[in-house]
Homo-oligomer: A and B are copies of this chain.
Amino acid sequence: MATAAIVVIGREILTGKFADENGPYLTQRLRALGIDLRRLAIIDDDVDAIAEEVARSAQHDHVFTTGGVGPTHDDVTFEGVAQAFGMSLRLDPDLRALLAKHGLVDEANLRMATVPDGAELVRAGGASYPTIRVRNVYVLPGIPALVQQKFEALAPSLPGKTLHAARVYARDRESDVAGALAALDAAHPAVDIGSYPRWGEAEHRLIVTLESGDRAALEAAVAGVSGLVDVVRVDAG
């Protein structure tokens, strides 16, 4: 299964000025595409912090950064990505020409065209402005509407895998069945089994989630869980 990491860059999120909309959006979309998200970091607009996080990109198939690519003094994502890979920055003539079409030609705006040496411009889905990719790192903007537009243009090119999932809602206290669930998890290595206690729900006190690329393996594990707990209901997904 392909893996991914998300790096949300923005002091405005850490200070609670704006809620992060990009992380939850990309999380859901990656799951739907069958890509395993392994890590989501929200970090400051700081070159060293960005470089450190992006330098981990070799651990994943795809990395998506959001934010920090505008014209202002705190937009330092390209610097951070360049530092992560030991690249220098270069003024890209194609990006400069695109910005100039919109009248964006002063020094601050040229920051948006100053990208790591080694950046590729990905023109997917007929977008008028390309997405910048450096190795396996897609550098997305911060504005949620633009992130969504750009990600959807890229999505068809991202390899995924269909996952089958189920949820068992149960009346049991997690602590009463934890040992038995651990044994069941060990007995079903092809199925990812999670157990989540709930508080204050009407009927169930526990949700057991199951996921697998193999439908038969999933069904066998669901049968195993259902024999173990006091089932309220079983849902797909």
Contact = CB atoms under 8 A, between A and B. Distances in A.
Given A71-B174, A182-B72, A185-B73, A42 B40 contact: yes
Contacts of A71: 174-175, 178-179
Contacts of A43: 38-39
Given A17-B194, A209-B12, A209-B17, A179 B108 contact: yes
Contacts of A27: 13-16
Interface stretch (A119-127, A195-203, A219-227): A195-203
A145 interface: yes
A181 interface: yes
Interface of A: 11-20, 23-24, 27-28, 30-31, 36-44, 49, 70-74, 104, 106-109, 143, 145-146, 174-175, 178-179, 181-182, 185-186, 192, 194-197, 199-200, 209, 211
Contact of A197 (B70, B107, B185): B70
Contacts of A41: 39-42
Contacts of A44: 38-39
User: In terms of DSSP, what is the predominant structure of the interface of chain A?
Assistant: mixed
A107 B73 contact: no
B108 A175 contact: yes
Contact of A15 (B14, B23, B70, B211): B211
Contacts of A74: 185, 194-195
B15 A37 contact: yes
B14 A38 contact: yes
